[in-house]
Amino acid sequence: MAMSVGDKGGEDAPMSEINTTPLVDIMLVLLIIFLITVPVVLETVELELPDVVFEPTTTKPENVLLSIRSADTDGDGLPNPESTACEVYWGQTPVDSRQLLERGQAKLEKLLEDIGGPQNITEENFPEVHIRGDVNTPYQCIGGVIYTMQYAGFQKIGFISEPAPGSGTVGRL
């Protein structure tokens, strides 16, 4: 503790100095508390994330190829990335959500009929959905298509992307 001895004004004169010792004590205690708690707060779960590589897809004739982009809402002939309206194409044919669901269900029903029933379905003969989404398409458009195709009965849905220049196609996933 600090103590004032021998002031000019005597014992009854007010002290003009501030005792900073309690302030320093409190600051040191807070510093120690923060040094102990920060590593606990910053602790993360260790994960081994997969290496990103591009694997060429093998397209089977029974697979469904969908293309999605933002709709032209400005009337200038160009897609508008700020728009929430979407254009969905089944192959080269534009479809709306109802038609997408109906076409998906019809494709699976025809597959069941061709292979002789659900007991004959294997992973090799079950069609996949491949989605090509424009980079400026809002997620709600792509998410809606994913939901619709899952509702129709498709189990495998993948995304088709363009590999970065110079990236390899060999590696582990």
pTM, entire model: 0.60
Residue 48 has a pLDDT of: 65
* In contact, 133 and 143? CB cutoff 8 Å: no
Distance, C-alpha 129 to centroid of its chain: 19
3-class SS at 83? coil
User: What would the pLDDT profile of 10-67 be if each residue is shown by its tens digit?
Assistant: 677 777 788 889 999 999 999 998 888 877 666 666 666 656 566 666 777 788 999 9
Q: Is 60 exceeded by the pLDDT of residue 77? A: no
Q: Is 50 exceeded by the pLDDT of residue 81? A: yes
* In contact, 74 and 80? CB cutoff 8 Å: yes
User: What would the pLDDT profile of 111-163 be if each residue is shown by its tens digit?
Assistant: 888 888 888 878 788 889 998 888 778 888 889 999 999 999 998 888 887 76
Residue 173 has a pLDDT of: 41
Residue 168 has a pLDDT of: 56
Residue 171 has a pLDDT of: 45
User: What would the pLDDT profile of 91-104 be if each residue is shown by its tens digit?
Assistant: 888 999 999 999 99
Distance, C-alpha 122 to centroid of its chain: 30
Nearest partner of 160 among 65, 50, 95, judged by Cα: 65
Which phi and psi (to 5°) does residue 105 adopt? -65, -40
Residue 101 has a pLDDT of: 94
pLDDT band at 5 (very low <50, low <70, confident <90, very high): low
Half-sphere exposure of 169 (CA within 13 A, CB side): 6
* DSSP symbol at 126: S
Q: Cα–Cα distance between 130 and 42 in angstroms, integer?
A: 39
Residue 29 has a pLDDT of: 94
Residue 20 has a pLDDT of: 87
Average pLDDT, the chain: 78
* SS3 labels along 96-111: CHHHHHHHHHHHHHHH
Q: Cα–Cα distance between 83 and 96 in angstroms, integer?
A: 16
Which domains occur in the chain, in start order? 64-159 (3.30.420.270)
Average pLDDT estimate for 79-84 = 61
Residue 172 has a pLDDT of: 41
